[in-house]
Structures are given as C-alpha cells and as structure tokens.
C-alpha cells in the first residue's frame, strides 16, 4: 500500500489479546506513522487506567474512550496524518465511540481469533478484565466474544485471520490486504 500524508488512517479492532497493539506498532513502524493505543491514550488523558475507569462504572470508561477517539480525529474538512490506532477489545460495545468511527475516514481492520485462543491469552495475563468478574467467567467470555465478533466483522472493511500468527507476519498480511482494498477503491 502506498502510504502518504493524505492516506486514510487505520483502526485495528478485535477481541482483547488479538494482537492489535503489537501488530499496530509494526505497521506504524513500516510507514513511519503515528501509533496510538486507544487504552493508553485513555489513561494518558484521564490519569486512570481503563480497568480503574471501568470498575468505577462502564459508562465512565466509555465516555473517556469516546473522548480519546474524538481527540484523534482531524476537523471534518481537513485530512489528517496517517495514524495506526489499536482499539480496545470492547470498542464495539461503545455506541457513541462507534458513531465517531463511522464518521471518520478510517480503514477498519478486524483481527479475528477464536474465543478459545482469546480466553487462553486472557488467562496468561493472570488478571481477569472487570467485565468478566462473574460466576462463570469463561462462559461469559465465550458469549461476549461471539457477540462482539459478529459486530466487529460487520463493521470492518478488512477481516484478517490472526489465529496463531506472530505480529510481524500479520502486519505483512495486512499490508497486502490494504493493497487489494485500495485497488478496489475509486
């Protein structure tokens, strides 16, 4: 993909631990563009971790997430610089933030991993996300993963199978997919 200052920015979406951040950093490095992890931006702007905000109330976190996303979008009439943005795994559940995404000139790329793989990676982190603090967190995760996956797929311009792929390999595959996507655009 030929990347210029007027290129559309990229939003990597998918479940928690799909590889959005590590892959996004590599993509941004290839293009010499900015990389933004939306959860890190939320923490920078609020001084509180997404986990802390969500534990206080999901609404507090969603509002902070929406404001962080808005801060990345250029004014409507002006094209912005290329950015690679890694969304949090629950962005699809934030209706207001998804409204910002739909209004922005972003290429949305969904990184798909199975519920089983995502669950294993969550367990390796050894701290359950607050939205899984339930009686049966694995079953809660599976149901949530399936619902979110369907929503992410329907909103994505490009769907990438990320199962068992290293970030470097996935980044190279994304570049090829973006070339094909760009060729289809008027």
Q: For the residues 2-12, what does the mean pLDDT come to?
A: 64
Angle at 153 between CA 65 and CA 142, to 5 degrees: 80
pLDDT reading at 20 higher than 80: yes
Give 112-142 pLDDT, tens digit per residue: 999 999 999 888 887 888 777 668 889 989 9
CA–CA gap between residue 146 and residue 152 (Å, rounded): 10
State the burial class of residue 6 (Cβ atoms within 10 Å of its Cβ: 0-12, 13-18, 19+): exposed
pLDDT at 76: 53
pLDDT at 105: 79
pLDDT at 185: 67
Instruction: Annotate 75-109 with b (16+ C-beta within 10 A) or e (fewer).
Output: eeeeebebbbbbbbbbbbbbeebbebbeebebbbb
pLDDT at 19: 94
Domain at 9-180: CATH architecture: 3-Layer(aba) Sandwich (3.40)
């Amino acid at each position: 993909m030929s990347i210029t200052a007027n290129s559309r920015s990229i939003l990597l979406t998918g479940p928690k631990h799909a590889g959005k951040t590590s892959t996004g950093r590599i993509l941004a490095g290839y293009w010499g563009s900015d990389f933004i992890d939306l959860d890190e931006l939320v923490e920078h702007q609020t001084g509180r971790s997404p986990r802390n905000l969500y534990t206080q109330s999901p609404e507090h976190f969603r509002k902070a997430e929406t404001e962080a996303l808005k801060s990345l979008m250029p004014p409507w009439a002006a094209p912005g610089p290329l950015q690679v943005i890694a969304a949090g795994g629950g962005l699809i559940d934030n209706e207001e933030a998804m409204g910002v995404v739909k209004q922005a000139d972003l290429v949305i790329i969904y990184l798909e991993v199975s519920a089983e793989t995502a669950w294993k990676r969550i367990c390796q982190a050894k701290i359950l996300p607050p939205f899984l603090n339930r009686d049966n967190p694995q079953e809660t995760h599976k149901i949530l993963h399936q619902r979110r996956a369907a929503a992410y797929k329907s909103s994505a311009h490009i769907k990438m199978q990320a199962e068992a792929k290293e970030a470097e390999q996935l980044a190279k595959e994304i570049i090829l997919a973006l070339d094909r996507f760009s060729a289809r655009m008027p």
